Structure 1
Amino acid sequence: MLATQKQYVQWLENKDGNETLHQALWLSESNHAPPARIVLVDDKTTADDAYRLACEGTSLLWRGDFHNARQLLQALGRRIDRTNERSELRKVKKAANKSAADKSVAPKEIPNLFHQQRQIQAQRARILSRLLLELDANYVSQLRRAPDVSAACTVAFGQLDKELNESCVLSFRDLQGVLGAAQWREKGVPIESLGLSIFPHYGVFAPTRHEYVQLLLDAPLPKVHDVAYDIGTGTGLLAIILAQRGVKQVIATDLNPRALACAKENFTRLALTSVQLQQADLYPTDAPLANLIVCNPPWLPAKPSSPLEYAVYDANSKMLRGFLQGAKTHLAEQGEVWLILSDLAEHLQLRTREELLGWFADSGLTVKYRLDTKPKHGRSQDDTDPLFAARSAEITSLWCLERV
């Protein structure tokens, strides 16, 4: 979906000895500023030269074969990784190995490890995003062997202004994200414990980690469960579980229009008539009090660097604390709050258990019971991951809270 404030990029092209200035609409899902310096590159450009330019802050507008651009992006990634192995990443991995072997490691080392890794990942993303691609007003690439990306881009960014006939420029990496999201939307993400698939939209976090689903199936519903809220519904997965478990009225909220469209499509696929959608920052308005309020907030209190990361990172735990502070006001008598939360932040020493319990108490809530599960995703088993010590100890919980 295009931003209301358009931004443009400019570059020079040399044709028959004459330099002409070109301009195109700038698209960036990561909200990166339009590049200040763009040079043209093609199949003759070596990966070493491209890497040097990208590290210097120069963006590279590709004019060669489409598949060769993909290979160049992979080559850039390998060079970044080799450089990191010789510098900061080596320090990060060394600290990670020490953390795994030495349980008495200094407390400050683990959160530093987390922030160092995020900085390395952010730098990697910035360099890779400097390989650019131009598409015409119909999202068609004029490159050799270019696939048809128009439908996927239209879904992701909306229609371009055909009357202006303006082209657009975006990073090749963002285009890969668009195409990947289109595949998720077509094939779906299977949720085995439910016997169904969820179909994410571009810009909506896909529920590829869903070990917590069984917790929601195992938790006993409150005796009265006529009305439930799903706060920050995303793809609509939690609302679907509540509806399938027999909650008569589920009100699902989200602030992101893409998430609301995504959830609506998933509800329609399953012919769910008991779920209502509302665009809201946390709690719905003009709604009956809820017997059950569920929320799966971002698990890590850190600043997101792109819109998609808002599903993972919650700066200063703003959403989590806001959700807890508003729960009692919207909760019916004898109602329950189900909070889905990983303790990874505690293992990374970004938040303490005491802080979390204090937020419960400050919100007028107390713990009724807790259900736990271990992660099953690949990174929790990967001992080469710099954060393996924390990931392998992670527990995901369903906290059932009630009024004090």
Structure 2
Amino acid sequence: MQPKTAALQRLDWEEDGENRSARWRSESGNPPPKRLVIGHDQMTADHAYRLACEGTAILWRGDFQNARQLLQAIARRIDNKPRKAKKPAAEVSPVDAFNLHRLAQSQRGRTLAMLILPLDEQYAIPLRRAPDVKDACEEAYGPPDEASVVSLREVLGLIGAHEWRKKGVEIAALGERIHPYYGVFSPVRGEYIDLVANQPLPSRELAFEIGAGTGVLAALLAKRGVERVVATEVDARALACARENIARMGFQRQVEIVEADLFPAGRAPLIVCNPPWLPARPSSAIEHAIYDPESRMLRGFLDGLAAHLTPGGEGWLILSDFAEHLGLRTRAQLQEWIDAAGLKVDGRIDIKPHHPRAADKTDPLYAARSAEVTSLWRLVAA
């Protein structure tokens, strides 16, 4: 079968002698597949793997739980595929290791995305033993409207995100749970939160936070006694997420979440920013919390900071040196940007990450992860 695509948002195909059409959904930005076959419970994992590697999508009509097992089997075949002879690790630069890792992850994701499912007009999956995903889909896609098709991998991600949103992430420094939305970076790496929790405040009158995300740092500043916090965000999901978290914790009188690119109007004695840590191009919308192409947000924060600080005010830049260990940015380059922005470093506190990958020697980026340090840079006008 040779499906046709329309405006990269619809998938048209032929099935049982009929022409069919549905909306194509992909939060990763994958285009609709150009080739499609119908998959049933009798399909073998080897056959499915070959089709997926060729770029042929499998529209599943069998049992949902069998589809999950098939996806796992395809993943095992990808992970166990014999690799071409590689250069010794000592001959591979950190930048090359990072780029090869991203390429491998991207290829793996595209292959796994070839197993796709139907969703009806109410976000029900019309398959045997399928879970109820209506709430999870509404949280990611908005109100239901029309029948669609989506990769099983994405559906499982929606389910996981829905559970995270319900359960929340325990933040010890807050004594509260933060509930992340789908596509909003979850504060699971708590070391940067501890840095903000332990640094003496230059003022309790007013603070700006640039890039609110889930609202965790704005809430922490309010809990520490800052009388007014203005937190900015441009992403619609993050705006809604931060506002809900702030309201849930009862900080809405202290904290205002506003839509703005970087700085709000005015000046403040404390301005906090935790930008994406890696200067690389995101491959999908939900990667913007991780990757900052050409360090645009970092440089925008630095360049505008002095003009938004009150006399004697401090800017707190929370940044990992992971990019430095990967060869994506140097410490000298960061210092040049600080100097060029009319700023100087008035102090810095560091903390080592505690996440499991920092100790996983099988990780291709282990050398960089094990050396990583997260810092809070105290910046003031020069």
Residue aligned with 1:311, SS: coil
Aligned to 1:8: 10
Q: How far apart, in 2, do the equivalents of 1:194 and 1:267 lie?
A: 12
Which residue is 1:401 aligned to? 379
Aligned partner (choices 124, 127, 143) of residue 159 of structure 1: 143
Cα distance between partner residues in 2 of 1:91 and 1:120: 14
1:339 to 313, 317, 324: 317
Q: 1:8 is aligned with what amino acid?
A: R
1:357 equivalenced with 2:335 (yes/no): yes
Tell me which amino acid in the other structure corresponds to 2:207.
A
* Superposed CA offset, 1:143-197 (max 9, x none): 0000111111112101233xxxx31101111111111110011000111232211
Q: Tell which deviates more after alignment, 57-66 or 151-160.
A: 151-160
Query: Given that residues 346 and 353 in structure 1 are in contact (C-alpha distance below 8 angstroms), is that contact kept between their aligned partners in structure 2?
Result: yes
Q: Following the alignment from structure 1 to structure 2, what is the Cα–Cα distance between the partners of residues 227 and 148?
A: 45
Please tell me whether the aligned partners of residues 381 and 388 of structure 1 are also in contact (alpha carbons under 8 angstroms). yes
Counterpart position of 1:101: none
Letter in 2 for 1:282: L
Unaligned runs of 5+ in 1: 99-105
Q: Is the 8 A contact 1:6 1:25 kept in 2?
A: no
Residue in structure 2 matching 1:305, options 250, 269, 283: 283
What are the within-5 Å matches in structure 2 for residues 129-278 of structure 1? 129-161=113-145, 166-222=146-202, 224-272=203-251, 273-278=253-258
Q: Tell me which residue corresponds to 2:3.
A: none
Paired position in structure 1 for 2:83: 87
> Could you tell which deviates more after superposition, 28-37 or 130-139?
28-37
Task: For residue 252 of structure 1, report the CA deviation from its aligned partner.
Answer: 0.7
Q: Which residue of 1 aligns with 2:61?
A: 63
Match of 1:25 in 2: 23
Q: How far apart, CA to CA, are the structure 1 residues paired with 2:68 and 2:109?
A: 15
Equivalent residues, number: 375
Q: Shift of residue 212 of structure 1?
A: 1.4
Amino acid paired to 2:215: G
TM-aligned CA deviation for residue 91 of structure 1:
2.8
Contact kept? 1:227, 1:288, Cα under 8 Å = no
Quote the Cα distance in structure 2 between the aligned partners of 1:46 and 1:23.
26
- For 2:37, give the aligned amino acid: V
Q: Does 1:327 align with 2:305?
A: yes
Of residues 31-40 and 247-256 in structure 1, the stretch that sits farther from structure 2 once superposed is 31-40
Asked if 1 retains the 8 angstrom alpha-carbon contact of 2:121 and 2:148, the reply is yes
SS at match of 2:58: strand
In 2, Cα distance between the equivalents of 1:120 and 1:152?
28
- What is the letter of the counterpart of residue 140 of structure 2? A
SS of the residue 1:212 aligns to: helix
User: What does residue 49 of structure 1 align with?
Assistant: 47
Q: Is the 8 A contact 2:8 2:32 kept in 1?
A: no
Alignment pair present for 1:74 and 2:52: no
Distance in 2, matches of 1:262 and 1:91, equals 44
Percent pairwise identity: 54
Post-superposition CA distance 1:62-100 (Å, at most 9, x none): 1110001111110110010111xx225x737x52xx4xx
Matched residue, 2:4: none
CA contact (8 A) 2:164 2:180 kept: yes
Q: Check whether the contact 1:11–1:39 (CA below 8 A) recurs between aligned residues.
A: no
Local SS of the residue matching 2:47: helix
The range that moved more, 187-196 or 376-385, is 187-196
Matched AA of 2:212: T
Per the TM alignment, residue 361 of structure 1 is displaced from its structure 2 partner at its CA by 0.5
Partner secondary structure for residue 204 of structure 1:
coil
Write out per-residue CA displacement over residues 356-381 of structure 1, whole angstroms, 9 at most, x where no aligned residue: 01110111110000000001000001
Question: What's the Cα RMSD here?
Answer: 1.3
Q: What TM-score do you get using the length of structure 1 for normalisation? A: 0.91
Aligned counterpart, 1:315 = 293
Once the 2 structures are TM-superposed, how far is the Cα of residue 225 of structure 1 from its aligned partner? 3.4
Q: How far apart, CA to CA, are the structure 1 residues paired with 2:175 and 2:222?
A: 15
Encode CA deviations 1:321-375: one digit per residue, 9 max, x unaligned: 1111111111111110000000011111110000001110111110000000001
- What CA distance in whole angstroms lies between the structure 1 residues aligned with 2:37 and 2:262? 45
Deviation, structure 1 residue 6: 7.8
Which of residues 280, 292, 295 is equivalent to 2:273? 295
8 Å CA contact 2:174, 2:223 repeated in 1:
no
CA distance in 1, matches of 2:173, 2:250: 19
Please give the alpha-carbon distance, in whole angstroms, between the structure 1 residues aligned to 2:221 and 2:175. Answer: 15
Inter-partner Cα distance in structure 2 for 1:363 and 1:77 = 47
* SS of structure 2 residue aligned to 1:209: coil
Runs of 4+ in 1 over 3 A off after TM superposition: none
Give the Cα–Cα distance (whole angstroms) in 2 for the partners of residues 31 and 234 of structure 1: 21
